[in-house]
């Protein structure tokens, strides 16, 4: 018998006008798993992430995180509960340094409000120093420590995804959602990314991943969910998914053709 899932998604549905982007999707993510969501472009993968993180409100369905219903909660509330994410189209703070980007991720784990910050009290400086140190260690984890003081806008696309991962980790999540983190990475960089994901898992953080790079997905995931036109068409361990007729027809066959 398995334990209570960390994330329990039940009949999640999202309609944009007449378009059903996510259609009655249910799946579970257990602690310490790496789970992948795959599917063709427009299948609704990013929308699922948006629904899980409060960026979009579900039309119907429930999202239980650690047994609490978080569907429709505001993004910053969801983050504080312990879900962090990265964005497929990276959303860095271009007007800030690489290090400061990660420090923003510490926001919910810090306390000093506007009055204390204004006065520059010792507590503010202590908290800041601590958060800077944590941010530095996360930059080290993703291999960006040398670029800490560069403007975030100067990073190439691959490193942008890595910075997003560091920023997400800074929120101290229990579950991290990665939206196509290997996009724009070469083989060597993708291997590094796999290492980073293993390290994240090693730190006791559960991973839910959207990714098109099938060899990466098959290597690191414990389980795979396949979406097509907003609906779940398969779920299971990578080896079985690779042989699933429906999946091959809807997605993998096409992916092989593309490659």
- Minimum distance, C-beta of residue 66 to another protein, in the bound complex (Å): 17
Q: Site residues (CB under 5 A) for Mg ion?
A: 45-46, 88
- Minimum distance, C-beta of residue 126 to another protein, in the bound complex (Å): 12
Name the residue nearer to another protein (CB basis): 110 or 191: 110
- Within 8 A by CB and 6+ apart from 28, the residues are 5, 7, 8, 9
Name the residue nearer to another protein (CB basis): 4 or 123: 123
State whether residue 34 is helix, strand or coil. strand
Which residue stretch of 44-52, 124-132, 145-153, 155-163 sits at the interface with ligand ADP (rule: CB under 6 A)? 44-52
Report if residue 42 touches ligand ADP, rule: CB under 6 A. Answer: yes
Please give the distance of CA 15 from its chain centroid, rounded to a whole number. 22
x/- map, 69-88, ligand ADP, by CB under 6 A:
--------------------
- Using DSSP bridges, classify how beta strands 7-16 and 60-65 pair: parallel, antiparallel or unpaired: antiparallel
CA proximity to 108, closest of 77, 69, 65, 87: 77
Which residue stretch of 42-50, 73-81, 145-153, 251-259 sits at the interface with ligand ADP (rule: CB under 6 A)? 42-50
Report if residue 171 touches another protein, rule: CB under 8 A. Answer: yes
Contacts (CB under 8 A) with another protein, residues 83-102: 84-85, 87, 91-96, 100
State whether residue 256 is helix, strand or coil. helix
Contact 227, 23 (CB under 8 A): no
- Minimum distance, C-beta of residue 199 to Mg ion, in the bound complex (Å): 25
Report if residue 181 touches ligand ADP, rule: CB under 6 A. Answer: no
Report if residue 23 touches ligand ADP, rule: CB under 6 A. Answer: no
Within 82-213, residue ranges assigned H as helices are 98-105, 114-119, 122-142, 157-170, 187-202
Report if residue 254 touches another protein, rule: CB under 8 A. Answer: no
Contact 145, 136 (CB under 8 A): yes
Give one DSSP letter per residue of 207-218, joined into a string.
EEEE-S-HHHHH
User: From the list Mg ion, another protein, ligand ADP, none, which binds 187 (C-beta under 5 to 8 Å, kind-based)?
Assistant: none
Report if residue 58 touches ligand ADP, rule: CB under 6 A. Answer: no
Report if residue 118 touches another protein, rule: CB under 8 A. Answer: yes
d(CA 197, CA 203): 10
- Using DSSP bridges, classify how beta strands 223-228 and 231-236 pair: parallel, antiparallel or unpaired: antiparallel
Residue 97 per-residue DSSP state: B
The residues that touch ligand ADP, with contacts defined as CB under 6 A, are 16, 19, 21, 39, 41-47
The residues that touch another protein, with contacts defined as CB under 8 A, are 53-55, 74-76, 79-80, 84-85, 87, 91-96, 100, 103-110, 112-114, 117-120, 124, 127-128, 131, 167-168, 170-171
């Amino acid at each position: 018998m398995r334990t209570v899932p960390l994330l329990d998604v039940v009949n999640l549905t999202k309609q944009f006008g007449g378009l059903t982007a996510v259609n009655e999707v249910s799946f579970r993510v257990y602690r310490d798993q790496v789970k992948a969501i795959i599917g063709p472009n427009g299948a609704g993968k990013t929308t699922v992430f948006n629904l899980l993180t409060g960026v979009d409100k579900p039309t119907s369905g429930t999202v239980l995180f650690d047994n609490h219903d978080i569907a429709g909660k505001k993004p910053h509330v969801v983050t504080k509960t312990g879900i962090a994410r990265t964005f497929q189209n990276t959303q860095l703070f271009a007007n800030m340094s690489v290090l400061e980007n990660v420090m923003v991720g510490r926001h919910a784990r810090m306390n000093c409000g506007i009055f204390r910050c204004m006065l520059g009290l010792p507590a503010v400086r202590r908290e800041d120093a601590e958060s800077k140190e944590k941010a530095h260690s996360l930059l080290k984890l993703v291999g960006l420590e040398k670029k800490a003081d560069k403007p975030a806008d100067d990073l190439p696309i691959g490193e942008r995804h890595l910075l997003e991962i560091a920023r997400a980790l800074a929120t101290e999540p229990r579950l991290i959602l990665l939206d196509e983190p290997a996009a724009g990475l070469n083989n060597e960089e993708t291997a590094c990314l796999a290492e980073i994901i293993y390290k994240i898992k090693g730190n006791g953080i559960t991973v839910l991943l959207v990714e098109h790079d099938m060899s990466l997905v098959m290597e690191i995931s414990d389980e795979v969910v396949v979406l097509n036109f907003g609906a779940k068409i398969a779920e299971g361990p990578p080896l079985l998914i690779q042989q699933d007729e429906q999946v091959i027809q809807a997605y993998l066959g096409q992916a092989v053709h593309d490659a």
